[in-house]
Structures are given as C-alpha cells and as structure tokens.
C-alpha cells in the first residue's frame, strides 16, 4: 500500500501564530519540530495499518521545514522549492491514497487558524464556480491521477472546507480555532491518539473512497488582493479579466488548470 503525504504547517496541532510559521521568526524552529513530530505520528500509524511505502512532500512556505534527521526512516522526503507541482510534487498514479497533514482552511473562512489559499495575495480560488481551499485544489490534482484523498488533519474549519470540496475522506480535528491566530490546543499524546484513530479508519476504507475528479474542461477563477496582480496574470495566453481583481481561464483538463494557477501565483508575486 503506497501512501503520499502532503504536509503543511498552519494546521499542525501546536501552531497558532505567524511567529511560528515564518522561517526566521521567533518560534519557527520549534514549529518545525512539532511539524516533524506530527508527520511522524501519521507515518507510524499508516505503517501500523498496512502502508508499505510512504512519500512525504514538505508543502509549507519554502518547503524545507521537516527535519530529515528526525523523520521516520521508512518514509522518503521531497524537500525544497520551487517544485513543478508544489504541494503535490511526487504524486502519480502509483499511489493508493493521499494524506493531507497540517492543512488549513481557505481564505476568508471565519474562525480558522491562518486561513489562506496558497498565497496571502489570493482572496479566492474557484474551480468550475466552486470555492476551493488548498485541500480542494490539491485533491483534484490527486484525482487527475486517479488517486483518492483518504485522510486530512487540521483545525475544525480546515476539516469542514475539505468535506465540502472532496469525497468521503477521514477528517481529524487536531485543534479548535477560536480566531485567526488563536486555538484550543491539546497535549500531543491526545493529538497522537486522534491521528492514529483517523489513519486507522482511512486505511481500513481506502479501497472504498473514490478520487475527486474534474472531468472535461475546467474553469479556473482567481481573485487577487490588488488589481495589479490580476493584470500580471493576464500575461498568460487565454486568461481574461472578470473584474478589476479577478481573472478566469478555461483549461482543457485539471492538470492544465493547476499549472495555470501556479503560473498566476508566480507572475503576481512581485506586485505590491
């Protein structure tokens, strides 16, 4: 049983503030250890319940947060940035299931720890008219390869977003957000048991969970925080303005839509 893990940081159980998630910030090194510890808990549970091969893609910020010297040696790590498929680098049709660990809610979600969608400059991202979090966007890329998302962990709003955007995966709430930079957090032994139970359920039902697939052409709609970012995204052939800050693009399939989204983010990154 081959498992792909995409691991972010904002949804890790002990993470609540910007001082933890930004490299060089006051509590970042501590957050890296917490992230590595939580990913290890998921790896250990997956191995216990039937996984034979695990690939972990570090998916936060510069994507070199997980401490390889502390990672379970039975997992391979994809680290560093940029990566062509970003948070989903390494996914292909050989995997049996995808786990999203430490994920967060989409931009604009109330009562969610550090809500955003790929970049803070993105106000919203929609696929065929439906608002998406990173779980929805990334889960559809897994679906492009015929692989289902079977597990997700994060705060209650991250789990709620994923339930609206993906098929019947297992969602594990590891902390309860009370604001954008505040949450009820629990001792790690409590969180570890929640994760273990969730992974056990996901592995038990992995064959029964269908991938989330966008068939045919796909309309991508991205709204940015300022109009200049949308203007730069229009450099992509086929992109069109919907309004001053919103760009739409109709792709042949989901892979093309995902790559165009990545290109829009890159083109808009230098605008202030």
Alpha carbon distance 199, 31 (integer Å): 22
Q: In what order do the strands lie in the sheet with 75-78?
A: 75-78, 53-58, 2-7, 97-103, 149-155, 170-179, 182-184
- State CA 124 to chain mean position distance: 15
User: The tokens of 209 are what?
Assistant: 């969970």
CB contact at 8 A, 149 and 167: yes
- Which residue is listed with tokens 């229009």? 234
Concerning whether 116 is annotated as a catalytic residue, the answer is yes
**Nearest of 103, 114, 86, 107 to residue 35 by alpha carbon:** 103
**Residue of 60, 104, 116, 144 with catalytic role:** 116
Give bridge partners of residue 171 from the DSSP assignment. Answer: 152
What Å distances lie between residue 257 and 63, 126, 222, 239, CA to CA? 22, 11, 11, 11
Residues labelled as active-site residues: 116
């Amino acid at each position: 049983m081959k498992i792909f893990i995409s691991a972010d940081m904002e949804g890790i159980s002990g993470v609540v503030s910007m001082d933890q998630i930004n490299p060089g910030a006051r509590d970042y090194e501590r957050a890296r250890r917490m992230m590595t510890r939580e990913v290890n808990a998921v790896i250990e549970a997956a191995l216990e319940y039937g996984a034979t091969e695990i690939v972990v893609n570090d998916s936060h910020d510069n994507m070199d947060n997980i401490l390889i010297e502390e990672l379970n040696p039975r997992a391979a790590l994809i680290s560093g940035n940029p990566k062509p498929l970003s948070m989903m680098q390494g996914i292909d049709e050989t995997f049996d299931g995808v786990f999203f660990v430490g994920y967060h809610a989409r931009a604009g979600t109330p009562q969610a720890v550090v809500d955003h969608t790929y970049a803070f400059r993105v106000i919203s991202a929609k696929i065929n008219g439906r608002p998406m979090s990173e779980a929805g966007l990334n889960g559809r890329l897994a679906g492009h390869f015929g692989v289902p998302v079977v597990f997700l962990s994060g705060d209650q709003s991250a789990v709620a977003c994923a339930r609206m955007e993906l098929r019947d995966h297992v969602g594990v709430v590891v902390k309860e957000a009370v604001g954008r930079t505040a949450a009820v957090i629990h001792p790690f032994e409590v969180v570890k048991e929640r994760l273990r139970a969730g992974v056990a359920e996901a592995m038990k039902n992995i064959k029964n969970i269908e991938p989330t697939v966008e068939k045919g052409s796909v309309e991508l709609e991205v709204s940015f925080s300022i109009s200049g970012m949308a203007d730069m995204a229009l450099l992509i052939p086929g992109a069109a303005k919907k309004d001053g800050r919103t760009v739409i693009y109709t792709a042949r399939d989901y892979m093309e839509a995902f790559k165009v989204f990545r290109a829009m983010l890159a083109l808009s990154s230098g605008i202030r």
